[in-house]
Amino acid sequence: MSDDIYREIILDHYRNPRNKGKLPDADVSIHDSNPLCGDEIDIHLKVDGDKIKDIRFEGRGCAISQASASMLTEMVAGKPLTSVKDLNKNDILESIGLMNLGPARIKCALLSLKVLKLGMVKYYAERDPASAKKLQEDSKGL
């Protein structure tokens, strides 16, 4: 099973993360951690209209949490910010190719999506509280 998890693509994103770093003049930044593992993720967004113009992440933690954050940034860059609400568990697990993660490790894989969704809600909460509330409802159930 470890052979399935720690494939080349995961190790590649772990060791050479895409879109990693700070984002000066980000429109929204958000942080969360996984108390169980101590994985930490910060996501910074620059938004143009409703498009994600730029995205960066910072973080430390296990290969699964960091590789999925890296892949997630590639997945959503240039997409409408509101489309983040439609992303779910399976989208992440499919993209990192790990459909059979156990309950403990699945939290590692989903941490970055959780942070991104929080960022989306925070962005709209500061600009359009009514739609932020709806987005929050819609993006439940991670």
Partner 1 sequence: MMQKGALNVEKIRMDFPILKRKVSGGKQLVYLDNAATTQKPLAVIDAIRDYYMNYNSNIHRAVHQLAEEATIAFESTREKVAKFINAKSTEEIIFTRNATEALNLVAYSWGRANVKKDDKIVITEIEHHSNIVPWQILTTEKGAKLEYIGVDDNGYLKMHEYKGHLDSNKVKLVSVSHMSNVLGTIVPVSDIIKMSHEKGIPVLIDGAQSVPHMAVDVQKMNCDFMAFSAHKMLGPTGVGILYVRRDILEKMPPFMGGGDMIKEVHKYETRYNDLPYRFEGGTPNIADVIGFGAAIDYLNNLGMDKVREHEMELTWYAIDRISRVKGVTLYGPRNMNDRGGVVSFNIGDIHPHDLATIMNDHGVAIRSGHHCAQVLMERLDVAATSRASFYIYNTKQEIDTFIGALEEARRLFKI
- Please identify, using beta-carbon distances, which residue of 1 and 130 lies nearer to partner 1: 1
- Least distance to partner 1, CB of residue 54, Å: 27
- Least distance to partner 1, CB of residue 101, Å: 9
Residue length of the chain: 142
Question: Is residue 106 packed enough to be buried (19+ CB in 10 Å), middle (13-18) or exposed (0-12)?
Answer: middle
Contacts of 137 (CB under 8 A, 6+ apart): none
- Least distance to partner 1, CB of residue 15, Å: 7
56 beta partners: 44
CA distance 110 to 12: 18
Question: Which residues would be at the binding site for partner 1 (CB under 8 A)?
Answer: 1-3, 5-6, 11, 14-15, 36-40, 60-64, 105, 108
- Please identify, using beta-carbon distances, which residue of 3 and 25 lies nearer to partner 1: 3
- Please identify, using beta-carbon distances, which residue of 40 and 138 lies nearer to partner 1: 40
